[in-house]
Structure 1
Amino acid sequence: MQTFISFLILISYYQLVAQENSTIVLSTIESELEKKQVAVDLGNTTKSLGSIVAKAISIHGGLRLAKPQKSRFSANFSAKGGNLISLSLATGVPKKTVSRYSFEEANVQLSIAKACDRLVLETLGIPGFFSGRISFLSSLSGKKEIFVSDAIMTTARPQTSFGKITFNPSWDNQGQGIFFTSNRKVFNNVYYLNLDSRKISTIANYRGSNLRAVQNPRSNQVALILSTSGNPEVWLASSPRSKPSRLTRNRSNESGPAWSPDGRRLLVTSDSRGKPQIYEVSVSSGQLTRIPTNVSSHCTEANWNPRDPNKFVFTAAVSGGFQVCEYDFSLRKSRIITKGAVHSMQPCWASDGRHLYFTERSVTGKTRIMILDTELEGAKPAPLHGPSFGNCSQVSFYYPN
């Protein structure tokens, strides 16, 4: 009996040691993550502003909220009436104010976003992305319609109400409007919505399917996907109102054009070898050159990093699902960015080339927009909205110059 009791005590001891070791390991991991982040407290920031700023900080990854005695910077956001927001930064021991800024934009939300971008620049020395806007699709009304929101989706407004099939929203390079595809007039045509005048212009309504328009970030040029020649091909127009010229001439199906940051190169998805892969298409000859992603036999939806032309992200079929991957031209290698049982797709970079928007689709088909800090090791994707936004997908990002 005594031997049996001793055995139980020994088992309990090893269980306790295992639990203690587990706790120690978790604590070590957490502290390592914290070392990579700059600790910030919000000082006397008012509660109404604090919730928005706290969301921005938690999403960024490079910053983290901390108590004043453990923070490196103290950031005070204040509402000064109208759309005016002030930001003061303090640091040191004891903390002393080192800089003050004021921001007055078209609306108070944008003023807060500008202040958050300044916080990122002053504390991390890198540009922020919070002043950007996203367009996306939401099925809140029962049909997929185009919405526009701030970069972290604190609020969103519908831009269309067709009650039809609408997809492929894409900002113009001035942030004045959105290209999109819809069957609002029976067949799939490409349209342009001017956000100021609310006027909708037809960009492409040729025979066959008119599937997509994406504007060059450095010029008026537009890449389109049209099937007027039979199969979906890449066409180029010198401006949105110009007649396009056929660029590719083959029997394969092309889709998803993505411009490089300098506007000189173009990626597309093509099934010229049977299954969809990412190709670079010559903007002068239309010749396709396959990118050796070597991660999947099914690769689509490329999106070029706006700050690092060596990198682009794409969607790949991996282990029975879809995940977002990144390809590096300099390394000629791919890495899988997202993981898990859910599907991750439709990646879109923010303007800082660090944060990545993508669509997460559950096993039941529900979709939501996620954001991921791709540079913070151990960072996890964060949802940008709840069920009140509906099923959301297909982000396009714009940041004002």
Structure 2
Amino acid sequence: MTTRLFSRFKSLPLIVLAALAAATPGFAQDGTRNLGNVDIVTSLKNMPIQVSGSTPELQTLARTALGAHGAFRLQAQGFAFDVKFAPGASNQVQVTLTKAGGAVVLSQLVSGNSSRNALLRAADVAVKAMTGKPGFFASRLAFIGEGTGKPEVYVGDLFLGEVRQITNDKALALNPQWSPNGGRLLYTSFFRTGFPDVFSLDLNNLQRSTFVSLKGTNSGARFSPDGRNVAMVLSGEGNPEIYVGNAQGRQITRKTRTQAVEAGPCFSPDGSQIVFTSDSMGSPQLFVMPAAGGAARRLVTQLSRYCAEPDWSRADPRKLAFTLRIGSGYQIGVYDFSTNTAKVVSKAPSDAVEPHWLADGRHLVFTARSANRRALWILDTENGKATSLSNASAGMLSQASILDPR
């Protein structure tokens, strides 16, 4: 194992989870909680809406979902739209959208994989009708939970319903990442050799196979947008470097050649570039290079000497989220490729790390990290609104990967 990697990137997931104490009990494997033409309003940053459901379950989940969206403010009077949800047939929900004056502008029956999923999909339909942008409520999460006492991989919906534990390695598990079609997960685990290897998990049958197990560190695997290639970090030839292989973990080629430590590769939305972290300038900074290899250029943020954990927005290719250090803590920043500038978008009282974009290119999921807690939150990068997705009974949750609604 490369000591240098672990000593120099102390806020990256390999270090964070390796140092975690025993998990908070109480995380259940079957879920923590189950829990016409429209005039698009674009001038309001915070649109007042009324949200209701014809059953207590629909009402609670609908208000939770739409209340987490930074573009809306839930209120009973003076609203621009009245959004109503009612159950249909099995795994169906009817969504009705009415203007404040009483005109019905949307009435649609939405199907899902479950009644809960149908409600989240229906809420996404309402968001698209009101804002013109896609919703993200029907997203799927893969994340690390510690309900068993060891970090394991879980999947569930965005609001931590219908949660399943899908690994039982009883060893350190890290960095789960969805394939674009949602059929597979790649993740790093120490369970077989005691060293970090990358594994592939088929979600249809939960069959696991070794993806990459080479000499040294194997970590940070992430699919290209078309699912044909995987970027990863390998250290078998010396320093941790960026490599790219095919979707079966073969035909692996080295893409960086430096004396530095590279980490956190992420493809651009069109697959032509890779953003990654390198400490070639003495501290972690962000760099972009062609996916085929070649010279890398630094993304100058002017915010911090520590910038890591990049995630390139699939919905808005101009935006790159990342973690930066401010003083003794960490917050989320967004780099704008159209202006070559960056800004801090989170205001978390504790560390805010591990950002991952949601489907609208405005919101993201991040980990709120303190000495005794790891929790998942939604962040509106336009107005700073943050909404907790997990409560204390869920235990330690971190390292979310997002599968956009399908």
Same fold, TM-score > 0.5, yes or no: yes
CA 1:282–1:86: 2 relative to 1, 3 Å: same
Q: Which amino acid aligns with 2:145?
A: S
> Which residue is equivalent to 1:66?
75
* 2:96–2:106 contact (8 Å) kept in structure 1: yes
Larger Rg: 1
* 1:249–1:286 contact (8 Å) kept in structure 2: no
> Which residue is equivalent to 1:203?
211
Instruction: Say whether 1:39 aligns with 2:44.
Output: no
Q: Which of these residues, 307, 325, 331, is aligned with residue 333 of structure 2?
A: 325
> Which residue is equivalent to 2:35?
none
Once the two structures are aligned, what percentage of the paired residues are identical?
32
> Which residue is equivalent to 1:354?
362
> Which residue is equivalent to 1:130?
137
Instruction: Say whether 1:383 aligns with 2:392.
Output: no
Partner Cα distance (2:160, 2:360) in 1: 17
> Which residue is equivalent to 2:402?
397
CA 1:150–1:162: 2 relative to 1, 3 Å: same
CA 1:365–1:84: 2 relative to 1, 3 Å: same
For 1:140-171, what per-residue CA distance to the aligned partner results, in whole angstroms no more than 9, with x for missing partners? 11111111111222342211111100001111
Residue 43 (structure 1) shift: 4.7
Partner Cα distance (2:303, 2:364) in 1: 19
Gaps of 5+ in 2: 1-42
Q: Which amino acid aligns with 2:335?
A: Y
For 1:285-328, what per-residue CA distance to the aligned partner results, in whole angstroms no more than 9, with x for missing partners? 33222111121111110111212222201111111111111111
Q: Which of these residues, 180, 185, 190, is aligned with residue 192 of structure 2?
A: 185
> Which residue is equivalent to 1:19?
none
Residue 233 (structure 1) shift: 0.8
For 1:184-213, what per-residue CA distance to the aligned partner results, in whole angstroms no more than 9, with x for missing partners? 102211001111111111110111111121
Instruction: Say whether 1:103 aligns with 2:118.
Output: no
For 1:252-308, what per-residue CA distance to the aligned partner results, in whole angstroms no more than 9, with x for missing partners? 111100111111111011111221111112323332221111211111101112122
Taking the TM superposition and a 5 Å limit, the aligned residue runs for 1:248-397 are 248-362=256-370, 364-375=371-382, 377=383, 379-397=384-402
Higher helix share: 1
* 2:79–2:100 contact (8 Å) kept in structure 1: no
CA 1:43–1:338: 2 relative to 1, 3 Å: closer
TM-score by length of 2: 0.85
CA 1:44–1:289: 2 relative to 1, 3 Å: closer
> Which residue is equivalent to 2:65?
56
- Relative CO higher for 1 or 2, CA cutoff 8 Å, sep ≥ 6? 2
> Which residue is equivalent to 1:156?
163
* 2:151–2:173 contact (8 Å) kept in structure 1: yes
CA RMSD, 1 decimal: 1.7
Gaps of 5+ in 1: 1-33
Partner Cα distance (2:129, 2:292) in 1: 43
Residue 78 (structure 1) shift: 1.0
> Which residue is equivalent to 1:240?
248
* 1:174–1:400 contact (8 Å) kept in structure 2: no
Partner Cα distance (1:44, 1:368) in 2: 28
* 1:76–1:88 contact (8 Å) kept in structure 2: yes
> Secondary structure of 2:361's match?
coil
TM-score by length of 1: 0.87
> Which residue is equivalent to 2:92?
84
For 1:8-50, what per-residue CA distance to the aligned partner results, in whole angstroms no more than 9, with x for missing partners? xxxxxxxxxxxxxxxxxxxxxxxxxx96322222356321100
Equivalent pairs, count: 363
